[in-house]
Amino acid sequence: MKNKSIYPWVVVALLWVVALLNYMDRQMLSTMQEAMKVDIVELNKAEAFGALMAIFLWIYGFMSPVAGIIADRMSRKWLVIGSLFVWSAVTFLMGYADSFHELYWLRAVMGVSEALYIPSALSLIADWHEGKSRSLAIGVHMTGLYMGQAIGGFGATAAAAFSWQATFHWFGIVGIVYSVILIAFLHENPIHNFSVKNVNERLKE
């Protein structure tokens, strides 16, 4: 599985799906506003909807460098899995929200959990692609972000076909299930782990 020539690209493929889910889950809310404001009347106000967008971005922006610090000190594998699980659970729970305040706090939690993903994922890819393939690997991974944003744009279509609640539920379930799959198939680069261990041992001397 960890063939030197194949597994680095398996990592990119695995993280590509996570990147897609990352941007898809954050994008869905903006496309389903019309369907949601029937049940949550506060969303009829532009100020309220803007606040939902703002709280996510403020927290995401603040947490990004913090997430980088954390990713330098912890297992990137488990940060990726943990962040995916949490934001997918948040997406699932948004289907049960029946007030603006519930949506507001769920978006805040999503901002924290999604911010943890990018630094961990890019660091993990960089470890597995140490040669000339690094830039290509990161570029391929980035396409997952934009594909997720594009698919998230169909949230309104899904909400019209089913309901906005069911749309959040199903996309949340997909992310939760995929986070479990990653436990078995996503791995840290053993060379990186060895290097970190050596550094820690030297610091203790």
Q: What is the pLDDT of residue 1?
A: 47
Where is 5: in which H helix or E strand?
A: none
- The pLDDT assigned to 105 comes to 97
pTM: 0.89
* Residue 35, both tokens: 């369907």
Nearest-angstrom CA–CA distance, 108 and 60: 8
Spatial separation of the C-alpha atoms in residues 100 and 85, rounded to whole Å = 23
Quote the CA–CA distance of 178 and 204 in Å, as a whole number. 38
Residue 154: CA count within 13 A, CB half-sphere: 8
Q: Is 21 exposed, middle or buried (CB count within 10 Å of its CB: 0-12, 13-18, 19+)?
A: buried
pLDDT, one tens digit per residue, over 59-103 is 999 999 999 999 999 999 999 999 999 999 999 999 999 999 999
Residue 194 burial (CB < 10 Å; 0-12/13-18/19+)?
Answer: exposed
The amino acid sitting at 123 is S
d(CA 145, CA 20): 5
* 14 Cβ contact list (under 8 Å, min separation 6): 182, 185, 186
Length of the chain counted residue by residue? 205
Grade residue 203 by pLDDT with cuts at 50, 70 and 90. Answer: very low
Query: Rounded distance, CA 130 to CA 133, Å?
Result: 7
- 173 class by beta-carbon count within 10 Å (0-12 exposed, 13-18 middle, 19+ buried): middle
**Which has more pLDDT, 190 or 102?**
102
- Residues 35-69, buried b or exposed e (16+ Cβ, 10 A)? bbbeebebbeeeebbebbeebbeebbeebeeebbe
Task: Kindly report, residue by residue over 131-189, the tens digit of the pLDDT.
Answer: 789 999 999 999 999 999 999 988 889 998 999 999 999 999 999 999 999 999 999 98
Residue 132 has a pLDDT of 85
**Contact between residue 76 and residue 70 where contact means Cβ atoms under 8 Å apart:** no
**Nearest Cα to Cα of residue 167 among 14, 39, 11, 12:** 39
